[in-house]
Amino acid sequence: MTLGQERVDKKTNEITVVPQLLAGRDLTVIKQNQPDLWAVTVLLFQSPPLHPADRPVYTYANKGHGRLERHTLVSSTALNQYLDWPGVQQVLQRTCRRDYNPILWGNIAAALRHYGASVQKALALIGAAAT
């Protein structure tokens, strides 16, 4: 579903046009075409937190269409003061593991996504879970 569209100049990235499209709340996928942001976000979630409470985790599972899906969402505010991203409140990591053929569990697929959010943690976790 597309709610809005804005042209991105060749010498910039999506971060510069997101505020024009959204009214104060956004959940944006951090992609590899933003190499510095991508790298620091991946590094953040690969490193153990100093205090586990600083990195809330939400896990859920669902079953259907011949597969079992397990999702894990992790959020952190550790990068907020370092990011050049207007209004950022946190970054998130979403891991989705899909086990196909529940009888044998012989086929497993995993996906990993990172997000930046300008909303409080609860709203961002719900948004990341839906994408």
- Residue 68 resides in a domain: yes
pTM of the model: 0.66
Cα-trace Rg, the chain: 16
pLDDT of residue 53: 79
Tell me how far apart the alpha carbons of residues 95 and 90 are, in angstroms, rounded to a whole number: 17
17 inside domain: no
Answer yes or no: is 15 within a domain: no
- The DSSP code for 14 is G
pLDDT of residue 18: 59
Structural domain harbouring 34: 26-130
pLDDT of residue 99: 81
- pLDDT value at position 1? 41
Mean pLDDT by 10 residues, the chain (131 residues): 63 64 68 89 87 83 79 87 82 85 65 77 52 53
In a domain, 19, yes or no: no
Dist CA 76 CA 6 (whole Å): 28
On whether residue 36 sits in a domain, the answer given is: yes
Establish if 48 belongs to a structural domain. yes
Q: Taking Cα atoms as reference points, which of 112, 50, 43, 56 lies closest to residue 82?
A: 43
| Closest of 87, 72, 93, 77 to residue 30, by C-alpha | 93
Q: Distance between CA atoms of 130 and 79, rounded to whole angstroms?
A: 23
The confidence score (pLDDT) of residue 28 equals 81
- Among residues 56, 46, 124, 62, the alpha carbon closest in space to that of 98 is found at 62
Count of domains for the chain:
1
